[in-house]
Chain A
Amino acid sequence: MNTVYALLGVIGLYVYVSIISLLFSGIDRKLVARMQRRVGPPILQPFYDFLKLISKETIIPNTANFMFKAAPVLMLATTIALLAYTPMGFAPLFATKGDIIVFIYLLTLADFFLVIGVMSSGSPYGRIGASREVAMLVSREPAMMLGVFAIMWGISKLGVQKPFSLSSLYEHNIWELGPMAWVAGAILVYVFMAWLASEIETGFFNIPEAEEEIAEGTLVEYSGRYLAIIKLAESIKEFIAASLVVAVLFPWQVPIPGVVGYIVNLLLHTAKVFIVLLIAKTVFRAVTGRLKISQAINILWTRVFAASVIGSLILAMGVII
């Protein structure tokens, strides 16, 4: 019976997050337009885009193979499965010991499916976009993994029910670990913001899809339904990635019991996600341009990963001392 409730919960979250994440991208576009003294599209524009794409004719290139059609579906399926492991202001629905690994795995897998789908189109532009995507994927994830594992290890020292589960983030948080952890926390805020920006590929990191250079790169061959599915999945993934940042760094909730508590916490969480995305996406993309792929990889390893190492070491010292 619990499984049935959890499944209903996942469906509910899916509907909620789909709407909210598309809504946020509408707000995002509006805000960027205002920053550039334009009027911008209406806030509901992403919904119109989605409906239009769904109704358009879908073209399959004749060099494409079966993964071209399967990959967008698999990508969306992975993101929906990921919702079951995402902290949403309350513990994830399927929280178990060690579920952080499932979370990271599914988050990476969604990108990987996209890459496979793009490769399968047979388009050389797609190929360039895909290889950039893989290079970014390999470069950005270690910094996040190190940071998350360090924080979860620190939290598990305080005594939690399920060590290395995303649900443990709501029992204790990094800011309870003392002054050294505050320094580490400040460094990790930078790391996680940089990771989030590179995960959702905006600002500096808008490289695989670089419109002007390689004609939309990854998404060049996708049209119609499949493009709509990918856009939706990317938008959900954006919300999930930001949820991780919020849960790891700012997990403060209001302790209200019952169903009302869940709803209030979900709304509070959504508000925090909006603020995080506002900084990491909207502002970042309005004020910076794109880097070259080699520069971006260089930055991810030398600035972001190095900061993650330093932050984790300081955190570890703080916990041990």
Chain B
Amino acid sequence: MTWLPFLIIIPLFGAFSMPIVSLIGGKAKEAWATIVSFATLIVGIDVFREVWNGGTIVYTLGAKNPFGKATFPIRIVWEVDKFGAIMVLIVTFVSFLAIIYSIEYMKHDTGLEKFYTLILILELGMLGIAITGDIFNFYVFLEIMSIASYALVAFRNDTWEGIEAGIKYMFVGSLASSFILLGITLLYGQYGTLTMGYLAVKMSENPTIVAKIALALFLGGLLFKSGASPVHMWLADAHPAAPSSISAMLSGLVIKIGGIYAMARVVFSIFSPAVNLTTVGWIIILFACITLIVGNAMAVVQEDMKRLLAYSSVGQIGYILLGLGIGMVAYGTKIGEVALAGAIYHTVNHAIMKALLFLVAGAVIHELGTRNLNELSGLAKTMPKTSFAFLVGAAAIVGMPPLNGFASKWLIYESSALFNPIIGAIAIIGTAFCTAAYVRVLFTFFGRPSEKVMNAKDPGIAMLLPMFILVLAIVVMGFFPWQISDKFMVPAARALWDVMGYIASLMGGG
């Protein structure tokens, strides 16, 4: 008996019952969303524990095993390996905190029953991507996630920027999704199956040009979703326009799940037996280097706080892509393993610290009503707790040793320097820009108080609590960097490489 289906059932039930629950009025919808997301967090923790103790979970929808009377999988399967379990845990954790935060943050907005429905659907879509083992099911969850995020970006539809960013995100996002759908169509036409593990088997028997075209379409679509550099423009508009709890989820989770996780899953679990990983890896490394430099350099010149954080997210995605790319090129070596473990570790760390930074930005906007950094001078005088949270988040994202960002970045630096010193140098240059950007914000926060900030005060407990839980997570994870890396991240990286294991648990288990 696995708890895995409840990962989808609970948020789905929560989202669909939200319109009815909100009829009660009062605070019922907030309470309901909190309960539902908390229950999902509990299930997420249990699924994580289950995968870690018992190995990959394979779950078939509708029957005992995916085969029926055939010799190949005919049903939708969910397959959660170690990497998937890590993503499940981080998604449920950050979503729960974002929902608690929204209670106070969103109280001036209207139409909140729709907001909480959408936020639960967003969580549902992300969880679905993390657990699915079926490529079309993956597309469906990707669209659930994407459409919920289009709607949430444009949630404040009385502001011009919300609508503008929403339209931009939706137009290009739909195009990217259709690339992925086209890739799936091609694969289905060529190989006649939609199960990821079985697709890998069929493809390794008969690698065709169609598979390569499909891979190119997948990579194009998923690089868009992750906000890699030539197609990062939606991100810089969507994050500032969205409500801050949504920015935290978009930047912390959506670009990781819909971009990085999906890319790793598609490349390793479907295509790695059939295509040349070195080529794919170098393509990703190329985009990673551009992303690193562009994202971090653009962050330095921003004057809008959330825009700065958005560009910084682009820059950090560059590090993760770099680790992923090296993990592909150096497949089967120690360097590749370290790089891939670093990429996974940084995915988790960045989700935590960027969620924290966006929640801080949200608190500032909530209290002061401005995002312009030039007006925020001396914030630490009147909002000390918020500023302290920002200090911790900024130090972690730059990679200061006692905090969690250090170990993950170190793994990526170390592997990239051993892999190719030029790439290592590019990573260091990216960090230099990143440091400059955050030091600039810190200097603003700790400067002379401007008149505008003199009347500000720290937000209430519902907003501070999620921030300080995240601060605590950053600090505690910072104390055990190598233990976490050896115990969780390296096994997850090995599990991702182990395509045979992935296929075997699909075909043998069930």
Which A residues lie at the B interface, using CB under 8 A? 63-67, 102, 105, 109, 116, 119-120, 122-124, 127, 130, 134
In addition to A109-B400, A119-B443, A120-B446, 13 A-B residue pairs with Cβ atoms within 8 Å of each other are: A63-B378, A63-B448, A65-B446, A66-B384, A66-B387, A102-B401, A116-B442, A119-B446, A119-B447, A123-B448, A127-B447, A127-B448, A134-B439
Contact with A along B448-459 (1 / 0, CB 8 A): 110000000000
- Interface-central residue, A65, A102, A119, A130, by most chain B CB under 10 Å: A65
Residues A65 and B442 in contact, CB atoms below 8 Å apart: no
Give every chain A residue within 8 A of B442 (Cβ-Cβ): 116
Give every chain B residue within 8 A of A119 (Cβ-Cβ): 443, 446-447
Residues B378 and A65 in contact, CB atoms below 8 Å apart: yes
Residue of A nearest to B414 (CB): A98
B381 close to A (CB within 8 Å): yes
Given A105-B401, A116-B442, A122 contacting B449 (CB threshold 8 A) = yes
Residue of A nearest to B377 (CB): A122
Residue of B nearest to A70 (CB): B388
| B491 to A: closest C-beta gap in Å | 24
Give every chain B residue within 8 A of A124 (Cβ-Cβ): 448
| B432 to A: closest C-beta gap in Å | 9
Give every chain B residue within 8 A of A116 (Cβ-Cβ): 442, 446
B380 close to A (CB within 8 Å): yes
| A138 to B: closest C-beta gap in Å | 9
Give every chain A residue within 8 A of B447 (Cβ-Cβ): 119, 122, 127
Give every chain A residue within 8 A of B387 (Cβ-Cβ): 65-66
Give every chain B residue within 8 A of A65 (Cβ-Cβ): 378, 380-381, 384, 387, 446, 449
**When chains A and B are docked, how far (Å) is the Cα of A64 from the Cα of B378?**
9
Residues B446 and A67 in contact, CB atoms below 8 Å apart: yes
A-B contact pairs, 24 of them (CB 8 A): A63-B381, A64-B381, A65-B378, A65-B380, A65-B381, A65-B384, A65-B387, A65-B449, A66-B384, A66-B388, A67-B380, A67-B446, A102-B401, A105-B400, A105-B401, A116-B446, A119-B446, A119-B447, A120-B446, A122-B378, A122-B381, A122-B449, A127-B448, A130-B443
**When chains A and B are docked, how far (Å) is the Cα of A124 from the Cα of B447?**
9
Give every chain A residue within 8 A of B388 (Cβ-Cβ): 66
Residues B448 and A122 in contact, CB atoms below 8 Å apart: yes
3 A-B pairs with the lowest CB-CB distances in the bound complex, closest first: A65-B380, A122-B448, A65-B381
**When chains A and B are docked, how far (Å) is the Cα of A82 from the Cα of B447?**
28
**When chains A and B are docked, how far (Å) is the Cα of A64 from the Cα of B380?**
9
Give every chain A residue within 8 A of B448 (Cβ-Cβ): 63, 122-124, 127
Q: How many residues of B contact A (CB 8 A)?
A: 15
- Interface-central residue, B380, B439, B443, B446, by most chain A CB under 10 Å: B446
Give every chain B residue within 8 A of A130 (Cβ-Cβ): 443
Residue of A nearest to B381 (CB): A65
**When chains A and B are docked, how far (Å) is the Cα of A98 from the Cα of B448?**
39
Residues A63 and B401 in contact, CB atoms below 8 Å apart: no
Give every chain B residue within 8 A of A120 (Cβ-Cβ): 380, 446
Residue of A nearest to B385 (CB): A66
**When chains A and B are docked, how far (Å) is the Cα of A124 from the Cα of B378?**
12
Give every chain B residue within 8 A of A134 (Cβ-Cβ): 439
**When chains A and B are docked, how far (Å) is the Cα of A155 from the Cα of B443?**
40
| B108 to A: closest C-beta gap in Å | 28
**When chains A and B are docked, how far (Å) is the Cα of A123 from the Cα of B446?**
11
**When chains A and B are docked, how far (Å) is the Cα of A116 from the Cα of B442?**
8
Give every chain A residue within 8 A of B443 (Cβ-Cβ): 119, 130
Residue of B nearest to A120 (CB): B446
**When chains A and B are docked, how far (Å) is the Cα of A66 from the Cα of B448?**
13
**When chains A and B are docked, how far (Å) is the Cα of A122 from the Cα of B442?**
13
**When chains A and B are docked, how far (Å) is the Cα of A189 from the Cα of B460?**
57
Give every chain A residue within 8 A of B446 (Cβ-Cβ): 65, 67, 116, 119-120
**When chains A and B are docked, how far (Å) is the Cα of A64 from the Cα of B446?**
9
Residue of B nearest to A117 (CB): B446
Give every chain A residue within 8 A of B380 (Cβ-Cβ): 65-67, 120
Give every chain A residue within 8 A of B401 (Cβ-Cβ): 102, 105
| B14 to A: closest C-beta gap in Å | 40
**When chains A and B are docked, how far (Å) is the Cα of A255 from the Cα of B387?**
52
| A123 to B: closest C-beta gap in Å | 8
Residue of B nearest to A121 (CB): B448
**When chains A and B are docked, how far (Å) is the Cα of A66 from the Cα of B378?**
11
Residue of B nearest to A109 (CB): B400
Residue of B nearest to A124 (CB): B448
**When chains A and B are docked, how far (Å) is the Cα of A27 from the Cα of B400?**
37
**When chains A and B are docked, how far (Å) is the Cα of A300 from the Cα of B419?**
32
- Interface-central residue, B387, B439, B447, by most chain A CB under 10 Å: B447
Question: Could you tell me which residues of chain B, from 194 to 234, have a CB within 8 Å of some CB in chain A?
Answer: none
| A28 to B: closest C-beta gap in Å | 33
- Interface-central residue, A63, A67, A102, A109, by most chain B CB under 10 Å: A67
Contact with A along B363-382 (1 / 0, CB 8 A): 00000000000000010110
Residue of A nearest to B380 (CB): A65
Residue of A nearest to B387 (CB): A65
Residue of B nearest to A71 (CB): B446
| B505 to A: closest C-beta gap in Å | 38
Question: Could you tell me which residues of chain B, from 378 to 401, have a CB within 8 Å of some CB in chain A?
Answer: 378, 380-381, 384, 387-388, 400-401
Residue of A nearest to B410 (CB): A101
| A102 to B: closest C-beta gap in Å | 7
**When chains A and B are docked, how far (Å) is the Cα of A134 from the Cα of B440?**
11
Residue of B nearest to A123 (CB): B448
Give every chain B residue within 8 A of A64 (Cβ-Cβ): 381
**When chains A and B are docked, how far (Å) is the Cα of A134 from the Cα of B381?**
22
Give every chain A residue within 8 A of B449 (Cβ-Cβ): 63, 65, 122
**When chains A and B are docked, how far (Å) is the Cα of A63 from the Cα of B446?**
10
**When chains A and B are docked, how far (Å) is the Cα of A236 from the Cα of B189?**
72
**When chains A and B are docked, how far (Å) is the Cα of A94 from the Cα of B439?**
30
